[in-house]
């Protein structure tokens, strides 16, 4: 079978993604094998390929969905032919971090993944994930491309929950890419007001066309001034930095009101350093926190949202490539011409 794997690239002094022939994985006790129906190309996949992401296993392809093609011994909850979303990470729910409400910091959470990864004709789901409730059955009418949005949407849902966004809240989103747009669409359903910034005119035009909220060109305009002018001079209640850019983080910090909250959602490259006067945070009683990943509770919530509003979110998928054209999928994802890129068998 064909599968995309990461291999060492001495010329680039890092990694590169390579489409290779691999043996079809055989599920052991408690495991299942899934025939890939679609897999979204995530920003963290791109960061792993560039060697900029070190938070979890060096496996790419985690926004995968498909059809169960074989079940291992002892699996009673799933059958061959089931259409599923398998979450690549599942916490233990019993360790100190889980009991403290930080399940995605659990050591077990980060220790498992899809094998050999979601960008494969077939992949294996570990027994831990199956037993822990990480595999969700898809509604019969849900198209695989839409279903591949479950994982990133779950991450966005978790972030907004941690921000305690309320109806009527003003939320600034730095980055109008796929996850920025997912945040904006979720906020729309919550009755909150979104303001999106980006340096790519094409993404701002897309956000405006979709009615995601007000938009501001971060390459040309004074973003904090625009946000404050749009919020009665106060600044946003919440800022979501849906980018790893240092400039975007600073924009977020300078765009929230006194007592406001900044959420770092995007992944800053290792070594990112900010030049910011921390006394401003203290004097303004502002909060800064990060959000990482999603739990199976979040994926269930995301699946519910997509069941109700799948057509709205499906418009975020602007490019689809077959697995054999993975290099083209990467090129589209690296550019601003694509919103969400999905890979199919």
Number of structural domains (the chain) is 2
* Coil vs helix vs strand at 72: coil
Give a yes or no: residue 124 inside a domain.
Answer: yes
Give me the mean pLDDT over the 8-30 stretch.
83
Sign for the CA dihedral angle at 110, 114, 116, 119 comes to negative
Residue 224 has pLDDT above 90, yes or no: yes
Give a yes or no: residue 311 inside a domain.
Answer: no
Task: Give the model's pLDDT for residue 10.
Answer: 63
Task: Give the model's pLDDT for residue 5.
Answer: 82
Residues 186 and 47 in one domain: no
Give me the mean pLDDT over the 305-328 stretch.
97
pLDDT, tens digit, for every residue of 273-301?
Answer: 999 999 999 999 999 999 999 999 999 99
Task: Give the model's pLDDT for residue 17.
Answer: 86
Task: Give the model's pLDDT for residue 23.
Answer: 94
Percent of the chain with pLDDT over 70: 96
Task: Give the model's pLDDT for residue 7.
Answer: 79
Residues 135 and 90 in one domain: yes
pLDDT, tens digit, for every residue of 88-100?
Answer: 999 999 999 999 9
End-to-end CA distance of the chain: 11
Sequence-distant (≥ 6) Cβ neighbours of residue 1 within 8 angstroms: 21, 22, 23, 24, 120, 121, 122
Task: Return the CATH number at 209.
Answer: 3.40.50.720
Task: Give the model's pLDDT for residue 16.
Answer: 81
Local confidence band at 13 (pLDDT 50, 70, 90 cut-offs): low
Task: Give the model's pLDDT for residue 229.
Answer: 98
Task: Read off φ and ψ for residue 77, nearest 5 degrees.
Answer: -85, -15
Task: Give the model's pLDDT for residue 232.
Answer: 97
Task: Please answer whether residues 241 and 175 qualify as being in contact, where contact means their C-beta atoms are separated by less than 8 angstroms.
Answer: yes
Task: Give the model's pLDDT for residue 337.
Answer: 83
Does residue 91 or residue 16 have the better pLDDT? 91
Task: Give the model's pLDDT for residue 12.
Answer: 59
Global pTM reads: 0.94
Mean pLDDT of the chain: 94
Local confidence band at 32 (pLDDT 50, 70, 90 cut-offs): very high
Q: Which domain holds residue 267?
A: 162-290
Give a yes or no: residue 301 inside a domain.
Answer: no
Does residue 43 or residue 303 have the better pLDDT? 303
Q: 20-42: b or e for each residue (b if 16 or more CB lie within 10 Å)? A: eeeeebebeebbbbbbbbbbbbb
Residues 15 and 122 in one domain: yes
**How many Cβ atoms sit within 10 Å of the Cβ of residue 272?**
12
Give a yes or no: residue 155 inside a domain.
Answer: no
Of the candidates 195, 218, 215, the residue with the CA atom closest to the CA atom of residue 205: 215
Residue 172 CA to residue 239 CA, distance in Å, equals 5
Q: Strand ranges (DSSP E) for the chain?
A: 2-9, 14-21, 32-40, 63-71, 83-86, 122-125, 135-137, 170-174, 193-198, 214-217, 236-241, 256-264, 287-290, 317-322, 340-344
Tokens of 223: 């973003």
Task: Give the model's pLDDT for residue 270.
Answer: 81
Task: Give the model's pLDDT for residue 46.
Answer: 86
Tokens of 285: 């009683």
Task: Give the model's pLDDT for residue 177.
Answer: 95
Task: Give the model's pLDDT for residue 56.
Answer: 57
Residues 204 and 326 in one domain: no
pLDDT, tens digit, for every residue of 36-78?
Answer: 999 999 988 888 887 765 555 568 999 999 999 999 999 999 9
What's 245's DSSP letter? -
Task: Return the CATH number at 333.
Answer: 3.90.180.10
Of the candidates 328, 240, 265, 170, the residue with the CA atom closest to the CA atom of residue 343: 328
Task: Give the model's pLDDT for residue 59.
Answer: 81
Percent of the chain with pLDDT over 90: 86
Task: Work out whether strand 340-344 and strand 317-322 pair parallel, antiparallel, or are unpaired.
Answer: parallel
Task: Read off φ and ψ for residue 121, nearest 5 degrees.
Answer: -60, -35
Residues 184 and 126 in one domain: no
Residue 216 has pLDDT above 70, yes or no: yes
Residue 336 has pLDDT above 90, yes or no: no
Residues 186 and 221 in one domain: yes
Residues 182 and 124 in one domain: no
pLDDT, tens digit, for every residue of 155-180?
Answer: 999 999 999 899 999 999 999 999 99
Sequence-distant (≥ 6) Cβ neighbours of residue 234 within 8 angstroms: 228, 257, 258
* Coil vs helix vs strand at 65: strand
Task: Give the model's pLDDT for residue 53.
Answer: 59
Residues 169 and 98 in one domain: no
């Amino acid at each position: 079978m064909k599968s995309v794997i990461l291999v060492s690239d001495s010329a680039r002094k890092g990694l590169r993604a390579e489409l290779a022939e691999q043996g079809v994985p055989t599920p052991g006790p408690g495991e299942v094998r899934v025939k890939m129906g679609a897999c979204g190309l995530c920003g963290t996949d791109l960061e792993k390929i560039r060697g900029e992401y070190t938070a979890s296993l060096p496996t790419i392809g985690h926004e995968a969905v498909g059809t169960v093609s074989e079940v291992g011994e002892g699996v009673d909850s799933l059958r061959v032919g089931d259409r599923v979303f398998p979450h690549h990470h599942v916490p233990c729910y019993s360790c100190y971090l889980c009991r403290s409400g930080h399940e995605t910091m659990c050591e077990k959470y980060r220790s498992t993944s899809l094998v050999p990864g979601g960008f494969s004709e077939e992949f294996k789901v570990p027994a831990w994930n199956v037993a822990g409730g990480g595999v969700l059955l898809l509604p019969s009418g849900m198209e695989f491309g839409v279903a591949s949005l479950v994982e990133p949407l779950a991450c966005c849902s978790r972030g907004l929950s941690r921000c305690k966004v309320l109806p009527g809240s003003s939320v600034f989103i730095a980055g109008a890419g796929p996850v920025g747009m997912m945040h904006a669409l979720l906020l729309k359903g919550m009755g909150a007001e979104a303001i999106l910034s980006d340096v790519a005119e094409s993404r701002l035009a897309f956000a405006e066309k979709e009615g995601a909220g007000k938009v501001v060109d971060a390459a040309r305009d004074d973003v904090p001034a625009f946000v404050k002018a749009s919020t009665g001079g106060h600044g946003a209640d919440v800022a979501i930095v849906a980018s790893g850019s240092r400039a975007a983080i600073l924009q977020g910090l300078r765009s929230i009101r006194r007592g406001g909250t900044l959420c770092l959602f995007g992944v800053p490259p290792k070594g990112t350093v900010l030049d910011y006067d921390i006394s401003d945070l203290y004097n303004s009683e502002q909060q800064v926190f990060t959000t990482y990943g999603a739990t199976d509770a979040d994926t269930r919530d995301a699946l519910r949202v997509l069941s109700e509003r799948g057509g709205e979110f499906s418009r975020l998928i602007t490019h689809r490539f077959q697995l054999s054209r993975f290099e083209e999928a990467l090129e589209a994802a690296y550019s601003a011409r694509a919103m969400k890129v999905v890979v199919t068998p």
